[in-house]
Amino acid sequence: MEHPVENPKITVSGVKRIDQILSWYRGENPGTLTNLARMLNHGTLGGTGKMVILPVDQGFEHGPARSFAPNPQGYDPHYHFQLAIEAGCNAYAAPLGFLEAGAAEFAGQVPLILKLNNSDSLSQLEPCPAVTASVQDALRLGCCAIGYTIYPGSEARNVMFEDLRELTLEAKAVGLAVVVWSYPRGSGISKEGETAIDVTAYAAQIAAQLGAHIIKVKPPSAHIEQDAARKVYEKEKIPVDTLPDRVRHVVQSAFNGKRIVIFSGGAAKEVEEVMEEIRAIREGGGFGSIIGRNSFQRAKPDGLKLLRQAMDIYLGH
């Protein structure tokens, strides 16, 4: 687990923070390590081991009006490249269409993550995103990593796990990093259970076991979904009362903190609420945030200010 130090780029033992993180992935090839390092060393938080990533897959997932009408500049794919670059984000993640529309224009200015699977909100069936892009697309567009969503708790989870296994094998073979959105959802769990502490920690563990380098989960609530898990949490007195406690437990669940775990910003909310959550993530040893709607649905000056405020918190300011 992390301990605050005077220089966020150096660990207590004097080792560079990025070198320490990369040491956890020694089983990977040099290309994958290089692409991880590219993201970790880029932008305002470069070298600190913390990350703020801009994700813009909401147009595909929720529809254009729900995603971009609050700030119509967001209908333009170039806007999101510019937002990520000007804010100093570690990376920008999006589906194939948005990245294709700006990868050449903004080549080399921000590390890219190609989201390889997506779903729409028009179906009420058990969640199971379609594979909508390829590892070759990621290479062609100059990406550092592929992104993939799994829904533990869905009856279709085996399809997602098996597709991810194949894509991960292919991505690692060509030196790309793997980012997994691990979002429990489906008939196996209740709505409240989607962000329960036991379920969120389980989701982080599943993503780590499937070979993810960077794991994205939602900030967990204090609710415990599974009766069998509740008995263990109570017996072992695992602290879950505060958000920093819960973040700490989720990070611990991803190989005792030896996998990068970042937390989603979720639905649009007031700035101070976003910052309070980020302070808790930092206090709990989380590696950062992936902030979409709370940034791009605001007017650009406000979106930039929010992202920079988040980065300041991770810098300890």
Task: Tell me, yes or no, whether 1 lies in a domain.
Answer: no
Task: Tell me, yes or no, whether 3 lies in a domain.
Answer: no
Mean pLDDT of 266-277: 90
With beta carbons less than 8 A apart as the criterion, state whether 110 and 39 touch: no
With a cut of 70, say whether residue 156 has pLDDT above it. Answer: yes
Tokens of 317: 């300011």
With beta carbons less than 8 A apart as the criterion, state whether 66 and 110 touch: no
User: For 46-55, what is each residue's pLDDT tens digit?
Assistant: 999 999 999 9
> CA-to-CA distance for 254 and 200, rounded, in angstroms?
11
Quote the radius of gyration of the chain (alpha carbons, Å): 18
Task: Tell me, yes or no, whether 21 lies in a domain.
Answer: yes
pTM above 0.85, yes or no: yes
Number of domains in the chain: 1
Residue 3: pLDDT band (50, 70, 90) is: very low
pLDDT of residue 295: 97
Task: Tell me, yes or no, whether 158 lies in a domain.
Answer: yes
Q: Long-range contacts for 269-277 (Cβ within 8 Å, ≥24 apart)?
A: 269/294, 271/306, 271/309, 274/306, 274/310, 275/309, 275/310, 275/313, 277/219, 277/243
Mean pLDDT of 223-238: 98
Task: Tell me, yes or no, whether 232 lies in a domain.
Answer: yes
Give CA angle at 208 (202, 214), nearest 5°.
115
CATH code (residue 261): 3.20.20.70
Task: Tell me, yes or no, whether 189 lies in a domain.
Answer: yes
Task: Report the amino acid identity of residue 304.
Answer: L
Residue 168: pLDDT band (50, 70, 90) is: very high
With a cut of 70, say whether residue 2 has pLDDT above it. Answer: no
Task: Tell me, yes or no, whether 195 lies in a domain.
Answer: yes
Which of 4-8, 200-204, 249-253 has the least mean pLDDT? 4-8
With a cut of 80, say whether residue 243 has pLDDT above it. Answer: yes
Provide the residue range defining the domain that includes 175: 17-78+87-314
With beta carbons less than 8 A apart as the criterion, state whether 5 and 12 touch: yes
Annotated active-site residue 216? The verdict is: yes
Active-site residue, selected from the candidate residues 50, 172, 216, 218: 216
The DSSP bridge partners found for residue 93 are 55, 113
Task: Tell me, yes or no, whether 23 lies in a domain.
Answer: yes
pLDDT of residue 6: 64
pLDDT of residue 269: 87
